[in-house]
Amino acid sequence: MSSSNGPVAPAAGPLLGPAEIRALAEQAGVRPTKTLGQNFVLDGGTVRKIVRQADVVAGERVVEVGPGLGSLTLGLLEAGADVVAVEIDPVLGALLPDTVRRHVPGIQVDSVDLPDVVPGSDADTTPATDEVTDDPGGPHVAPPSLTVVRGDALDVTHLPGRPPTALVANLPYNVSVPVLLTFLERFPTLERVLVMVQAEVADRLAADPGSRTYGVPSAKVAWYASARRTATVGRTVFWPAPNVDSALVRMDRRPAPATTATREQVFGVVDAAFAQRRKMLRSALGAVAGGAEAASRAITAAGVDPQARGEALDIHAFARVAEQLHP
């Protein structure tokens, strides 16, 4: 992408620094917007911490949502990952390939608009490792590569190349929870998630039943994975600096609860239980059960106290209640 200000100076290292980030933004005419929840990471140490805590290994297929100017993208590539980055901002999506090529000369970079993504494309032809028969060391890991998918992450139903095994992202603040739940649902191959989100959101994602921060995000994430907050991130590592602190959350995939109820049925019970948080379950679930008495019978049959509130139930208890409501 060209600019009247001329090209950005050659990369000074493997990662983006503060001066280059601002120069890239100025060159492209990018103004970080609250609408898209854009806050770019300036600090290379924070980038490497995210990659390290995600346990990214060379050759692994990693999906990143909201790569922005490319700070975390370059960190993932530095670790040897095979990255597919989903970017909704058309200007940033067009700028990212050039930025990556400048920092990682010779890297394979592809771009595709979301409507043109073919399900399973290259799935069987892009292995994580390539056998090298004349190398006494045996197989080696394929070099890192980048595929930029231009479009809304919430509209993604499939990705090009091999299925991703990790989601690593500095998520846009305004869509962090919907994006997480969407990708956990649509990509069962995801084994690990490491995301940077608002500290308040991190607390909700990792909350245990009975805590004041436990709610719909906590319960729904628990359907897919265990979640824990791993670190606090200060405001000064971002440009522009947000008004709140951020935090890292690690999620590890685990089997969904064993239940005859569907995920949609269980999530419907979760939504109803927290729609009126201070109400007892027998009242909160009355609308979905056909009345408070019917709700009370179903809740009791599930081994749950009808006078309890939603914040007291873990995902397994919600599943048992859903089974009784949908026999």
pLDDT over threshold 90, residue 122 = no
Q: In the prediction, which pLDDT does 1 show?
A: 39
Domain contains 3: no
Amino acid at site 240 = P
Which of 253, 286, 308 is the last residue in one of the domains? Answer: 253
Q: In the prediction, which pLDDT does 276 show?
A: 87
219 and 283 fall within a common domain: no
Is 41 known to sit in a ligand binding site? yes
What domain range is 301 assigned to? Answer: 263-325
Q: In the prediction, which pLDDT does 198 show?
A: 94
- Lowest model confidence (mean pLDDT) among 89-93, 122-126, 244-248: 122-126
Is 170 known to sit in a ligand binding site? yes
26 and 160 fall within a common domain: yes
236 and 288 fall within a common domain: no
pLDDT tens string 53-81: 999 999 999 999 999 999 999 999 999 99
Going 47 to 153 to 263 to 292, the CA torsion angle's sign is: positive
Is 191 known to sit in a ligand binding site? no
Going 112 to 116 to 120 to 124, the CA torsion angle's sign is: negative
Which of 253, 279, 299 is the last residue in one of the domains? Answer: 253
Which of 205, 229, 253 is the last residue in one of the domains? Answer: 253
Q: In the prediction, which pLDDT does 241 show?
A: 86
pLDDT over threshold 60, residue 158 = yes
144 and 291 fall within a common domain: no
Q: What share of the chain is helix, strand, coil (3-state, %, to 5)?
A: 40, 20, 45
Is 39 known to sit in a ligand binding site? yes
Please give the average per-residue pLDDT across 133-142, as a whole number.
55
Is 100 known to sit in a ligand binding site? no
Q: Could you give the 3-state DSSP secondary structure of residue 180? A: helix
pLDDT tens string 252-277: 999 999 999 999 999 999 999 999 88
Domain contains 287: yes
- The CATH number given to whatever domain includes residue 288 is 1.10.8.100
pLDDT tens string 182-228: 999 999 999 999 999 999 999 999 999 999 999 999 999 999 999 99
Is 152 known to sit in a ligand binding site? yes
**DSSP category for residue 259:** -
- The CATH number given to whatever domain includes residue 108 is 3.40.50.150
104 and 124 fall within a common domain: yes
27 and 131 fall within a common domain: yes
Percent of the chain at pLDDT > 90 equals 78
Please give the average per-residue pLDDT across 148-166, as a whole number.
97
